[in-house]
Amino acid sequence: MVRIKTSALLIPMLCGLIAGPALAGDIVGKVKYAGNAPAPAKISITKDQAVCGKEPHVEESLLVAADKGVKNVVIDVADPKDGKPMPPAAKNPAVDQTGCKFLPRVQIVPAGQMLDINNNDGILHNIHTFPKNNVPLNAAQPKFKKTVQAKFDKPDVVQIKCDVHSWMTGWIVVAGHPYYALSDAAGSFTISGVPAGTYTLEYWHEKLGKQTKPVTVPATGSVTADFEYAAK
Ligand SMILES: [Cu+2]
């Protein structure tokens, strides 16, 4: 009994050593919305009109393309096997406050990475973060304070708001490993170089919520993992 168990463990281990680098594939897909794209509701600018009202603001919490692709969905492998950390970015990721909007609205930031929150508007903003697993930040950012920094050490989904301009909102998804992707305007995404195996894939959207589905990553090439959110 013991012998059989040992060899059953050893053979795949030895094969792994002989094969050299880990076998890995890509997860590609498209996220869609089963309903009609919502009409972009206009946001009324109630403060700092000269700066914030330069460009019209519309509701961007659910962006659906003509063919139903959903932008700003974060897709990640919930249970990666190799547990390697996300490589640090070459320079600090940044959230810009421009025209009283957080740009980009949604972004993925490696855990432990310093994030620059920039004030490009020359007026007072007040950064307020709402983490679940990290330390919150609530800091006034007067017009002369170009950058406030924030760091999130643990994986999380963090909403950012401005206490001065109630319509301003953005999201930081803090990644503890590299197997994350953000869907583009067409709803498409790619997670590259995932070690072969079967995983749970998570789809998170600020308005449509979190959904999961299993995915099996091949040793070479890619697997397609499309997903459709039910209409709200
Ligand atoms: Cu503001």
Domain parsing of the chain, residue ranges: 22-229
Q: What is the pLDDT of residue 12?
A: 45
Report the SS3 class of residue 171: strand
- How far apart are the CA of 10 and the centre of ligand 1, in A? 58
Closest to 57 measured CA to CA, from 132, 145, 151, 169: 169
Q: Which residues of the chain have pLDDT under 50?
A: 1-16, 19
- How far apart are the CA of 100 and the centre of ligand 1, in A? 5
Asked: is 22-229 a CATH 3.90.1150.10 domain? The reply is no
Asked if residue 204 lies in contact with residue 157, where contact means CB atoms within 8 angstroms, the answer is yes
- How far apart are the CA of 124 and the centre of ligand 1, in A? 6
Distances (CA, A) of 126 to 24, 42, 145, 181, 185: 43, 23, 11, 29, 29
Q: What is the pLDDT of residue 84?
A: 74
Find the Cα–Cα–Cα–Cα dihedral 104, 109, 112, 113, rounded to 10°: -60
- How far apart are the CA of 76 and the centre of ligand 1, in A? 30
- How far apart are the CA of 25 and the centre of ligand 1, in A? 42
pTM score, whole prediction = 0.89
- How far apart are the CA of 168 and the centre of ligand 1, in A? 6
Q: What is the pLDDT of residue 232?
A: 85
Only one residue has tokens 């869907």, namely 183
Q: What is the pLDDT of residue 81?
A: 85
- How far apart are the CA of 117 and the centre of ligand 1, in A? 12
Closest to 138 measured CA to CA, from 112, 164, 119: 164
Q: What is the pLDDT of residue 18?
A: 53
- How far apart are the CA of 138 and the centre of ligand 1, in A? 12
